[in-house]
Amino acid sequence: MLSLRGVRKSYGGTPALRPVDVELAAGELVVLTGPSGSGKSTLLMIAGGWETPDGGEVVPHPPLPDLPVERMSWQDLGFVPQSISLFEELTLADNLALARGSAGGGELLEALELGHLAERRPGEVSRGEQQRAAVARALVASPALVIADEPTSHQDHRRAQLVLGLLRAAADRGAAVLIASHDPAVVSRADREIRLGAGAVTRG
Ligand SMILES: Nc1ncnc2c1ncn2[C@@H]1O[C@H](COP(=O)(O)OP(=O)(O)OP(=O)(O)O)[C@@H](O)[C@H]1O
């Protein structure tokens, strides 16, 4: 589903991501771990096609359309950004409808204990509720590839399990799911862990 071979990235000459290989198959949930600054978010942005690596190869199967992140197709790729990034002027239900291309997704909101908040806008719900809505949006169009950046970072233990249960179920239905996380609960539900080293490269 997704192959990254030797991808690396620097910003202003400072390495953000050291060369890394990631192979992600359909039906697999893989977690990226590593210290803060080790390049997890950078790798996810490269995997989603929003950042260009300085070297290495990225092969999504099937190829992702060449669209900026704000115009991405949620049918191809479900994305939970670290910044959450729901449309502020739309209700939670309408955020899902936009991703799905039609109304629906109520059962996902219910499963994430958001059913009673469906008609509220993101600014009218908590950060954790916004994050769960972003997870629902990523899954609502049943994409073949799901990329999630710390999707449990604003959740209590019980809600983290709800989020993980849905991401695990997406993988079990055949999606390829790539998650960056520090959360041991995520690692415990993953099929594999890929650990990134420290971001800085020792020279000399
Ligand atoms: N747009 C950018 N410009 C300059 N430096 C950047 C940029 N994006 C990331 N970096 C740097 O690249 C390194 C890797 O960042 P990244 O966000 O990928 O790490 P991370 O492992 O996701 O960290 P965290 O766990 O704290 O979210 C960091 O040192 C960061 O400061």
Contact indicator for 46, 4 with CB cutoff of 8 Å? yes
Give the distance (Å) from ligand 1 centre to CA of residue 43. 10
ipTM of the complex: 0.95
Structure tokens at 195: 């650990």
Res 202: pLDDT: 35
Best residue among 10, 11, 31 to mutate for probing ligand 1's pocket (most ligand atoms within 8 Å of CB) is 11
Residue whose Cα lies nearest atom 16 of ligand 1: it is: 39
Res 199: pLDDT: 41
Q: Is the Cβ atom of 38 under 6 angstroms away from ligand 1?
A: yes
Residue whose Cα lies nearest atom 29 of ligand 1: it is: 37
Res 95: pLDDT: 96
Per-residue pLDDT tens for 33-92?
999 999 999 999 999 888 899 999 998 776 666 666 566 678 889 999 999 999 999 999
User: How many angstroms separate the most distant Cα atoms in the chain?
Assistant: 58
Contact indicator for 22, 194 with CB cutoff of 8 Å? yes
Best residue among 7, 36, 42 to mutate for probing ligand 1's pocket (most ligand atoms within 8 Å of CB) is 42
CA 45 to ligand 1: nearest atom: 18
Per-residue pLDDT tens for 121-169?
999 999 999 999 999 999 999 999 999 999 999 999 999 999 999 999 9
- pTM, full prediction: 0.92
Cβ neighbors of 95 (< 8 A, separation 6 or more) are 86, 87, 122, 133, 137
Q: Is the Cβ atom of 37 under 6 angstroms away from ligand 1?
A: yes
Residue 195 predicted with pLDDT over 50: yes
Q: Is the Cβ atom of 41 under 6 angstroms away from ligand 1?
A: yes
Instruction: Tell me phi and psi for residue 3, to 5 degrees.
Output: -125, 125
List domains and CATH numbers for the chain.
2-195 (3.40.50.300)
